[in-house]
Structure 1
Amino acid sequence: MKLDNLKLFVQTLKTGSITGAANELGIAKSSLSRHLTELESEFNIRLLNRRPRNLTATEAGQLLFDQVAPLMEGLNEVSHFMEHWREQPRGALTMLLPLEFFNEDMGQLTVEFMEAYKDIQLTITHYAGPLPDNSREFDLSFVLHDRPLPPSDLIARSLMSLPQGIYGSAHCGDTGTITELAQLSAASVILQPGERDWQFRSEGGAISIPVSGRLTMSSEQMRLVAAIRGQGLVKLPRYLAEQQVKLGTLCPLQTSLPLEAQTVSVVYPGRTMPRKSRALLEFIQDNIGRLHSRL
């Protein structure tokens, strides 16, 4: 007995005509009639009363319909369940984040993601400084940068930009002595690891100004504190320094050209992203407006 024939038989009786059932099923009327005839041949009994204007079940056909229709409904539910199960992201995921990256917001997003995707196991690791060499071992890695990422076989996607500014202690007058960009080279600057210059945006492209200083820190929060305490000028995202400017503990340096914005990018291995990685990235992208609300 062919299961397809039973499905077509049930649908035909539900519709009430071979023409209507064929239209709903998207098959030719002649093909549907052939399947129904084949089913009657298998049982060696007439199942349908075929009349010009309507179609009804014989006594045997009604008995078969009553037995088979609930089973077909159950099979449809099983099919839908298995399709949903197949499409549902599952498995282990690893994500690499900068040490200070909207930790409160990202923590909230992570919890909501885990509540939405019950079959995901997520491990989050943090790093300080430049993107580590082992980032290719993670499904998704987020990086903050204000210049192009170095060549890599990893795929990179920009998510958002964060305007930056230069700040100094309000009590030391650091910002008042700088009137030209070139003067930054002689100023004491609080550096990030590996930092040798600051990038400014001009119509002709990026302009690099060499910078140097005695103090190097990976943490933006620690650089902020050091600047407040008069350890030198610091480059920070505006959202991070804004509150201290309002409090009067930091002063912004007005420059003739703006700093290059800090870009938030995600990098991942391979051009074909697994369903579980895509689900996490899309979830973050859909909710990244929460980060914008703080800027």
Structure 2
Amino acid sequence: MDLLALADFNLVARHGGFGKAARAAARPKATLSRRVTELEASLGVRLFERGARVLKLTEEGRALFERTALLLTELDETAGAIASGGHKPRGRLRVSAPLLFSQTAMGKIAAGFAMKFPDVRLEVTTEDRAVDMIEEAYDLVIRVNPAPDAALVGRAFLHDRLVVVASPGLRRPDDAPVPAIVRGAIGQRSTWKVATASGRSSIAVEPILGLSSLVMVRDAVRMGVGVGRLPLSLVSHDLSAGTLVHWGDVDGPATALWALYPTRRLLSARVSAFLDFLREAFPKGTPDELAAYVEGRGSSGAITAQTSA
């Protein structure tokens, strides 16, 4: 496959037309049209549907664009790095992160990373769904307890666990369900299994509030409305201060945050730099370390970079 023709195809696809691509690249429109036609002939498929005023990617064209755009960008960046005599991270870095981690820590992480690597244009979006990294053009995703995926590789950089907490004034009844605050829709009465120093037990709960984020759940629990199941990192300061009390650890698997990237994609300098930055921010990867980072009490390089600015 002719890489120059492929690059011209990507140029036209990215700008949505031969005229716009020609103006953006200061290239003759006829040359771009000819190169794309030659690429179509070599592949034996139509890459664009050409109308009188509209140019649309065909299904094959869209698939080719999605699978080659980032690779060509990485090749350009690699060539630029070699030409400049180094491998300094540069270019756009798109990251998808879950809601809670974004609300509590990602702002500080992004700011510290931007100060350390000013040539990288970091874009962070917050979504709890499992985004499609290839089709949606993400360089790296952060996921909570991700399912095994042969197309992704990475590592866990933080660990947490769920705990049941309540306001000190909330009594734990012996013969009735305790009011509970949950994330999401309010369900029926249920039982939460917990582990304590004295063994395992069950807490009968009746959800009375359904909230869309764990930060909202924590704030409502602080008000004494009911108990909640929350990450230890989110409530460790309250537990230390006595504003919340610990009713037990949720009996179940621990929570792990993973940083993942596609196996089919070259590990660019900017992705490698971001992975290293996460490792420096959370060298132990414990709930207390995350809580300290959020509260500004940590001593990692990322925190130092931020507070010294």
Give the TM-score, by structure 2 length: 0.51
The partner residue of 2:229 within 221, 228, 235 is: 235
Q: 1:187 to 1:266 in 2, by over 3 A?
A: farther
Q: Which residue of 1 aligns with 2:34?
A: none
Q: Which residue of 1 aligns with 2:153?
A: 155
Q: Which residue of 1 aligns with 2:117?
A: 117
Q: Which residue of 2 aligns with 1:250?
A: 244
Q: 1:225 to 1:109 in 2, by over 3 A?
A: closer
Q: 1:195 to 1:83 in 2, by over 3 A?
A: farther
Q: Which residue of 2 aligns with 1:96?
A: 96
Mean Cα deviation higher: 90-99 or 269-278: 269-278
The runs of 5 or more residues in structure 2 that have no matched partner are: 1-80, 196-201, 293-309
**Rounded Cα–Cα distance in structure 1 between residues aligned with 2:185 and 2:133:** 18
Q: Which residue of 1 aligns with 2:173?
A: 177
Q: Which residue of 2 aligns with 1:4?
A: none
C-alpha contact 2:233 2:290 (8 A) present in aligned 1: no
CA offset digits 1:97-156 (Å, max 9, x no partner): 2233275754343233223333321111123xx3344555221222334xxx33544435
The partner residue of 1:260 within 253, 267, 273 is: 253
Aligned residue pair count: 198
**Rounded Cα–Cα distance in structure 2 between residues aligned with 1:268 and 1:194:** 32
Q: 1:171 to 1:199 in 2, by over 3 A?
A: closer
**Rounded Cα–Cα distance in structure 2 between residues aligned with 1:195 and 1:247:** 30
Give the secondary structure class of the aligned counterpart of 2:141: strand
Q: CA deviation at 1:167?
A: 0.7
C-alpha contact 2:153 2:261 (8 A) present in aligned 1: yes
Give the secondary structure class of the aligned counterpart of 1:87: coil
Give the TM-score, by structure 1 length: 0.53
Give the secondary structure class of the aligned counterpart of 1:101: helix
**Rounded Cα–Cα distance in structure 2 between residues aligned with 1:200 and 1:262:** 15
Q: Equivalences for 1:260-279 in 2 at 5 Å?
A: 260-275=253-268, 276-279=270-273
Q: 1:89 to 1:107 in 2, by over 3 A?
A: same
Give the secondary structure class of the aligned counterpart of 2:92: strand
**Rounded Cα–Cα distance in structure 1 between residues aligned with 2:131 and 2:265:** 21
Q: CA deviation at 1:93?
A: 0.9
Q: Which residue of 2 aligns with 1:67?
A: none
Give the secondary structure class of the aligned counterpart of 2:248: coil
| % identical equivalent positions | 23
Query: Quick one: which amino acid aligns to residue 287 of structure 1?
Result: A
Give the secondary structure class of the aligned counterpart of 1:244: helix
Q: Which has the larger radius of gyration?
A: 1
Q: CA deviation at 1:200?
A: 6.4
Q: Which residue of 2 aligns with 1:66?
A: none
Q: CA RMSD in A?
A: 3.9
Q: CA deviation at 1:172?
A: 2.4
CA offset digits 1:239-275 (Å, max 9, x no partner): 32233334443221136x7553321212333354431
Give the secondary structure class of the aligned counterpart of 1:124: strand
C-alpha contact 1:165 1:259 (8 A) present in aligned 2: no
Q: CA deviation at 1:224?
A: 0.8
- The reply to whether residue 292 of structure 1 matches residue 289 of structure 2 is yes
- The reply to whether residue 282 of structure 1 matches residue 276 of structure 2 is yes
Q: 1:85 to 1:188 in 2, by over 3 A?
A: farther
- The reply to whether residue 223 of structure 1 matches residue 217 of structure 2 is yes
Q: CA deviation at 1:92?
A: 1.2
C-alpha contact 2:234 2:291 (8 A) present in aligned 1: no
